């Protein structure tokens, strides 16, 4: 079977261009790959098998049909649809220089706009909510001790899900400094300080699983029963399990929908409410720009209320209006 031009350029895009020229992370490559797995599956539903799929068969209308299919059949939100479109845009930005024969159609694909995302209120836990959540793991069991160390580390560092999954023992520096090295988006590494309370949970966990031995330096810091690194689904399952337990055993409010990213939001909000400068919060979270971090300032209704109250000047008249002091409005009107 003769390979198609689509197969050739997609393979080069994923294995050569993204990795060697763009320096994209493995997570980015996997996300782009998943987009094209879905796209190939969609084209199969349109009676175009993968061995018949060429660049010439992919038009602006085809891509729009794929995006609509994602939202109608797979129930994807605008954010997911935009992420898939970003991968397609990146591919055709690459192809237009490598295979410009159909340049006009490529540019039409590149002109497909992103959809405006719905503004969803930010979910985060209160300090009391975090305390209740972290009190749920049973520390009499090895799994409970792992889960407590895991959840507390996620909150304490404000790390993303994938960043926690990729941690190894050599990411930690448990001495006078007590810091953790976290590699995030774009393979950017940041150093985040850890509190003594967090270290007190981590050290026994590391010793218990012999992660302090040199031979285990590259072993996943948090792993499942098979010794493999935890998956995103596994991490979310752990959090949701304890969140459900917390709702049943306490009167503290926890959002109905909760995910690992909620712990990251919670840490950022608590730092902001404690008066920590946005620049430091940006560095802890690994944001490229402080403008990204400003979303927490916009979401903090308590801080807004305090700022308004601090700047408030009464403009109301000191004397009570006559229509409030007169019980008989009609009488007042007659004698006005």
Residues with catalytic roles: 160, 185, 261, 264, 287, 296
Count Cβ atoms below 10 Å from residue 199 Cβ, excluding itself: 15
Q: How far is CA 188 from CA 31, 168, 192, 261, 291, in A?
A: 18, 16, 13, 19, 18
Q: How many CA atoms lie within 13 A of 165 on its CB side?
A: 15
Distance, CA of 134 to CA of 144 (rounded, Å): 10
CA-based R_g, the chain, Å: 27
Burial class (CB in 10 A: 0-12, 13-18, 19+), 117: exposed
Residue identified by tokens 């909620």 is: 262
Closest among 265, 258, 269 to 304, alpha carbons compared: 269
Closest among 284, 277, 279, 278 to 190, alpha carbons compared: 284
Distance, CA of 325 to CA of 322 (rounded, Å): 5
Return the biggest CA–CA distance within the chain: 101
Distance, CA of 159 to CA of 146 (rounded, Å): 17
CA 306 to chain centre: 29
Q: How far is CA 42 from CA 1, 64, 71, 87, 322, in A?
A: 22, 12, 12, 15, 72
């Amino acid at each position: 079977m003769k390979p198609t031009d689509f197969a050739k350029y997609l393979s080069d895009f994923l294995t050569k261009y993204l990795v060697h020229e763009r320096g994209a992370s493995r997570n980015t490559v996997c996300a782009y790959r998943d987009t094209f797995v879905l796209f190939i599956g969609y084209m199969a539903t349109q009676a175009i098998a993968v061995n018949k799929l060429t660049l010439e068969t992919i038009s602006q209308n085809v891509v729009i049909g794929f995006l609509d299919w994602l939202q109608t059949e797979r129930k994807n939100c605008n954010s997911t649809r935009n992420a898939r479109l970003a991968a397609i845009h990146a591919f055709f930005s690459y192809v237009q220089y490598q295979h410009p024969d159909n340049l006009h159609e490529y540019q039409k694909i590149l002109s497909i706009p992103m959809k405006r995302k719905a503004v969803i209120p930010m979910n985060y836990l209160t300090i009391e909510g975090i305390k209740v959540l972290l009190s749920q793991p049973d520390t009499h069991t090895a799994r409970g001790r792992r889960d407590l160390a895991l959840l507390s580390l996620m909150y304490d560092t404000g790390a993303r899900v994938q960043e926690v999954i990729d941690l190894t023992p050599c990411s930690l520096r448990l001495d006078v400094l007590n810091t953790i090295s976290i590699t995030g988006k774009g393979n950017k590494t940041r150093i985040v300080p850890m509190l003594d309370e967090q270290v007190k949970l981590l050290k026994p966990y590391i010793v218990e699983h012999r992660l302090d031995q040199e031979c285990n330096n590259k072993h996943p810091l948090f792993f499942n029963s098979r010794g493999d690194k935890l998956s995103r689904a596994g991490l979310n399952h752990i959090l949701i399990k304890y969140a459900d337990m917390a709702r049943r055993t306490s009167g503290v409010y926890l959002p109905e929908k909760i995910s690992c990213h909620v712990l990251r939001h919670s840490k950022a909000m608590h730092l902001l409410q404690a008066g920590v400068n946005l620049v430091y919060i940006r560095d802890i979270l690994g944001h490229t720009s402080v403008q990204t971090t400003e979303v927490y300032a916009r979401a903090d209704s308590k801080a807004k209320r305090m700022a308004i109250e601090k700047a408030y000047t009464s403009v109301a008249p000191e004397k009570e209006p006559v229509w409030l002091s007169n019980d008989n409005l009609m009488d007042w009107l007659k004698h006005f």
